[in-house]
């Protein structure tokens, strides 16, 4: 078991005075149960329930008070509590609508008990069961595949990890960090795969793990589907997603099928609620708040770049190219950058957007539009150490602020630049592997104003 960033979120929750039961969201196999087990070592008592098991599920019975249910748990599980704090973890809670309803009573009547629930199909269960969800009496946290920082720790790159965490990054470590990030991008961040790789460094031996993950996701189609016809659409979409990931997609005929946009749209939104994909929509906004244009074609983000590489057959290419942008038309570099940014948000599930300008003879597209303080920061993922920044320049020309970011296969730099039209701006250039630390580097790019400092 290796440490995860989510533990910081769980510790903050533990130390909050108005703590509510916490629902830990995440797709299957991203390490929710393992993370909570690690966290449980900080408590004197730990109670684990898995509601996929009938015996545990039957503990939540209509008509019993929450204190009676808790007493039943202690008796049936033969648990003798020690003095101190108690953590109750209800795993796979989507299997019991009663357990979900009872979360509010843990909050209202057993405030000394620390309660965490987890379920990969949680939102789907709520929708199908039409139960009364305890809004305002629970809070959420989100877990994703391992980030690059977590990957470095899991693969015991302690010295490199220390350098990675320092801002700005030291020039002497850039080549080594690129090498490790390249490997991370190839393998991905699914915990079981990273664990096996950290033990034997044998990429071909990971095949059975990848296949097992795909099989488990396909088997879940039976749980997602509301009828046999939708099951077929879901299975088709799940099998096609790795081949469409990173691209702007059309719903009609998705994955070379004859399925209509309505069927595909329902299937992809269902898979998104299971947190296997993100539909990344464009925006035409130049400033906050950023408003997604749901009428335009989204980009498809798969749960993990390593899974994408395996299923599409891209892993051998990682041994041939030094620059991620040389692989799969540059989609992999953009995909892993978004994956890193998504995984930073353990407290919320806010969507990442990209910027478009779609006019006759004047189209532009910026890969990522990132909210930072009061700014909408354009982030372009570029090939090699140079390359045109045409779309980025169009955004800068129209924006009210002078800041932009380039992720590329180069070193850290902040430069005074100008668009071809002559507008001055500051360009923050970062190597790909710093995508997950982009906010730390924006702090270097954008100095606080006197008003910000006085208000702080």
Percent of the chain with pLDDT over 90: 75
- pTM of structure: 0.92
| CB within 8 Å of 227: residues ≥ 6 apart | none
Domain boundaries, the chain: 6-142, 148-276+302-343, 353-455
The alpha carbon dihedral of 32, 337, 8, 18 has a sign of negative
Least confident window among 242-256, 309-323, 354-368, 414-428 = 309-323
Question: What pLDDT does residue 440 have?
Answer: 96
Confidence of residue 244 (pLDDT cuts 50, 70, 90): very high
Confidence of residue 321 (pLDDT cuts 50, 70, 90): low
Give the pLDDT mean for 1-7: 88
Give the pLDDT mean for 2-13: 94
3-state secondary structure 65-111: CHHHHHHHHHHHCCCCCCCCCEEEEEECHHHCHHHHHHHHHHHHHCC
Side-chain-side CA neighbours of 324 within 13 Å: the count stands at 28
* Pick from 330, 334, 251, 336: nearest CA to 296: 251
Q: What is the pLDDT of residues 349-361, one digit of tens each?
A: 888 999 999 887 7
* Pick from 80, 93, 168, 88: nearest CA to 126: 93
* SS3 (DSSP) at 249: coil
Cβ pair 280, 290 in contact under 8 A? no
Is the pLDDT at 325 greater than 60? The verdict is no
Question: What pLDDT does residue 105 have?
Answer: 93
CATH topology assigned to domain 6-142: Rossmann fold (3.40.50)
- Backbone phi, then psi, for 385, in 5-degree steps? -95, 0
Is the pLDDT at 49 greater than 50? The verdict is yes
Q: What is the pLDDT of residues 110-127, one digit of tens each?
A: 999 999 999 877 777 777
């Amino acid at each position: 078991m290796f440490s995860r960033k989510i533990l910081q979120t769980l510790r903050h929750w533990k130390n909050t005075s108005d703590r509510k039961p916490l629902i830990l969201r995440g797709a299957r196999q991203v390490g929710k149960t393992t993370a909570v087990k690690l966290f449980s070592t900080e408590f004197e008592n730990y109670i684990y329930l898995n509601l996929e098991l009938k015996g545990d599920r039957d503990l939540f019975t209509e008509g019993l008070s929450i204190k009676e249910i808790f007493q039943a748990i202690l008796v049936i599980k033969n648990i003798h509590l020690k003095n101190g704090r108690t953590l109750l973890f209800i795993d796979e809670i989507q299997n019991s609508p009663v357990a979900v309803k009872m979360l509010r009573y843990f909050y209202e009547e057993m405030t000394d008990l620390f309660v965490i629930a987890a379920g990969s199909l949680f939102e789907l269960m709520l929708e199908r069961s039409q139960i009364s969800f305890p809004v305002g009496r629970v809070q959420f946290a989100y877990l994703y595949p391992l980030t690059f920082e977590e990957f470095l720790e899991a693969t015991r790159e302690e010295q490199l990890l220390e350098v990675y965490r320092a801002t700005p990054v030291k020039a002497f470590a850039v080549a080594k960090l690129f090498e490790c990030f390249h490997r991370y991008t190839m393998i991905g961040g699914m915990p079981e795969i990273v664990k096996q790789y950290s033990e034997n460094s044998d990429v071909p031996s990971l095949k059975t793990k990848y296949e097992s993950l795909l099989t488990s996701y396909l088997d879940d189609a039976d749980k997602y589907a509301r009828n046999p016809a939708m099951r077929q659409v879901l299975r088709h979409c799940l099998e096609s997603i790795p081949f469409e990931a990173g691209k702007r997609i059309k719903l009609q005929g998705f994955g070379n099928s004859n399925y209509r946009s309505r069927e595909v749209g329902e299937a992809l939104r269902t898979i998104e609620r299971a947190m296997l994909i993100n539909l990344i929509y464009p925006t035409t906004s130049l400033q906050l708040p950023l408003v997604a244009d749901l009428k335009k074609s989204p980009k498809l983000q798969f749960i993990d770049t390593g899974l994408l590489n395996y299923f599409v057959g891209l892993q051998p290419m990682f041994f041939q190219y030094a620059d991620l942008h040389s692989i799969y038309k540059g989609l992999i570099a953009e995909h892993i950058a978004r994956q890193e940014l998504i995984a930073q948000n353990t407290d919320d599930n806010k969507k990442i957007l990209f910027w478009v300008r779609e006019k006759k003879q004047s189209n532009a597209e910026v890969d990522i539009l990132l909210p930072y303080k009061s700014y909408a920061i354009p982030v372009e993922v570029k090939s090699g150490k140079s390359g045109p920044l045409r779309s980025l320049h169009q955004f800068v020309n129209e924006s009210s602020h002078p800041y932009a970011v380039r992720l590329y296969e180069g070193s850290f730099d902040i430069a005074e630049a100008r668009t071809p039209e002559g507008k001055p701006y500051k360009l923050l250039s970062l190597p790909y592997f710093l995508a997950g630390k982009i906010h730390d580097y924006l702090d270097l790019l954008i100095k606080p104003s006197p008003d910000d400092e006085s208000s702080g």
